[in-house]
Amino acid sequence: MTFRTPDLLDAHPTLEACEAGLRHFGGRRRFHGPAATLRCFEDNSHVREWLKTPGQGRVLVIDGGGSRRCALVGDVLAAAALENGWAGIVLHGCVRDTVVLGTLDLGVMALDVQPRRSEKHGQGARDVDLEILGARVRPGDWVYADEDGVVFSQRPLFA
């Protein structure tokens, strides 16, 4: 599937678009799928739970509060996402293990890199409406990500 987020925004100016700041870390630079959403702050317990379930081509959108103090996703969770059929991860927070992430055929976008792992206290909320870098996303919205950024749509933009 070929698409470009600038073209999608030109054709559909009401789409939600993330502000600049997300960087690619996964081996797949262009990905899309329905959103699964998660809000968690410096605790990746629910990230692990989500990514160990069948992804069915979805994209996990995580609001990590923009924290740069720890990573919410690393090589082990990204490998689980790939194994379970997730299309990608969009993270308002940090990743780690970037050398390995870059070898996986998985879309991974995040704010930055942090080698410190997160806490695991079971904190967070799944299937919630989020606002990531100025863009609103709801569970089931469609995520389109490429080299130019991330946009969200309430419906699929092509078959």
With respect to residue 159, please indicate whether it lies within any of the assigned structural domains: no
With respect to residue 157, please indicate whether it lies within any of the assigned structural domains: no
62 bridge partner residues: 38, 91
Q: In the chain, what percentage of residues exceed pLDDT 90?
A: 97
With respect to residue 145, please indicate whether it lies within any of the assigned structural domains: yes
pLDDT recorded at residue 23: 98
Q: What is the pTM of this model?
A: 0.97
With respect to residue 82, please indicate whether it lies within any of the assigned structural domains: yes
With respect to residue 100, please indicate whether it lies within any of the assigned structural domains: yes
CATH at 144: 3.50.30.40
Q: How many other C-beta atoms lie within 10 A of the C-beta of residue 57?
A: 13
Contact 16, 151 (CB under 8 A): yes
Domain count, the chain: 1
| Averaged pLDDT of the chain | 97
Query: Coil, helix or strand for 122?
Result: coil
With respect to residue 66, please indicate whether it lies within any of the assigned structural domains: yes
pLDDT recorded at residue 2: 87
pLDDT recorded at residue 43: 97
Q: Is the pLDDT of residue 89 over 80?
A: yes
Q: Is the pLDDT of residue 148 over 90?
A: yes
**10-54 pLDDT, tens digit each:** 999 999 999 999 999 999 999 999 999 999 999 999 999 999 999
Contact 59, 143 (CB under 8 A): yes
Q: Is the pLDDT of residue 68 over 80?
A: yes
Cα-flanking dihedrals φ and ψ of residue 4, to 5°? -130, 130
Contact 18, 149 (CB under 8 A): yes
With respect to residue 104, please indicate whether it lies within any of the assigned structural domains: yes
Domain of residue 64: give its range: 5-152
Q: How far is CA 90 from the centre of its chain?
A: 1
